[in-house]
Chain A
Amino acid sequence: KQEVTQIPAALSVPEGENLVLNCSFTDSAIYNLQWFRQDPGKGLTSLLLIQSSQREQTSGRLNASLDKSSGRSTLYIAASQPGDSATYLCKTSGSRLTFGEGTQLTVNP
């Protein structure tokens, strides 16, 4: 059974800092890995989708990488802003869709 872990559970940084969020998974037989953002009480917004054949995807200040062999993905956020404050979740797609519990990010002005 796939297990997806996100560490740390919470992270607080000053505005402008570059940061990395981590996602690890136990079963490397995945089709893709997707990163989401969730604001309090809201749905999940898709940020980046990395196919299993890809190593990374970029969108604006966000860069996601995937290393299937080591069971790891990272989400890099450049020049963080207070508006980036949210919970970030990763999801693997294999025989099942499995979500991590998320990292709650706070960017302080």
Chain B
Amino acid sequence: EAQVTQNPRYLITVTGKKLTVTCSQNMNHEYMSWYRQDPGLGLRQIYYSMNVEVTDKGDVPEGYKVSRKEKRNFPLILESPSPNQTSLYFCASSGGYTSSYNSPLHFGNGTRLTVT
């Protein structure tokens, strides 16, 4: 089944403790991205990647890191989480390099992160 898989679904952590949220897709998509969703602010893009070893900042990249060493995986790293990073996070992927803007965006089921 074609899907985007995020883990974990729920995560509670403390300020400053490094964490990684994993994202994997099995559709051979070249474009992958991370979003956070907050009430009243909607979905905001954190980082995106057009291909292996190519990553770019989205609208709210501060406090986050990503890597794209393999085509299928795009982990989101919080080196020193803070309470303002408490949010619902989504990973998404689409198409190929030349069609990423013309292909549907497929989302994972989300990771609800709480930082205390």
Contact = CB atoms under 8 A, between A and B. Distances in A.
A99 B101 contact: no
A34 B109 contact: no
Nearest to A1: B59
B81 interface: no
Interface string B29-49: 000010100001111010010
Given A31-B101, A44-B90, A99 B109 contact: no
A43 interface: yes
Contact of B45 (A32, A43, A51, A96): A96
B68 interface: no
Contact of A32 (B35, B41, B102, B106): B102
A97 B105 contact: yes
Contact of A34 (B33, B40, B105): B105
A46 B106 contact: yes
A43 B92 CA distance: 10
A100 B110 contact: no
A42 interface: yes
Which of A42, A44, A96: most chain B Cβ within 10 A?
A: A44
A89 B92 CA distance: 15
B42 A34 contact: no
A98 B41 CA distance: 12
Interface residues on B, range: 20 to 34
Given A41-B110, A41-B112, A46 B104 contact: yes
Given A31-B101, A34-B104, A93-B101, A43 B43 contact: no
Contacts of A99: 35, 42-43
Given A97-B33, A99-B42, A32 B109 contact: no
23 contacts: A31-B102, A32-B101, A34-B105, A41-B110, A42-B109, A43-B4, A44-B92, A44-B105, A44-B107, A45-B107, A46-B105, A46-B106, A46-B107, A49-B103, A91-B105, A93-B101, A96-B58, A97-B105, A99-B35, A99-B42, A101-B40, A101-B41, A102-B42
Interface of A: 31-32, 34, 36, 41-46, 49, 51, 89, 91, 93, 96-97, 99-102
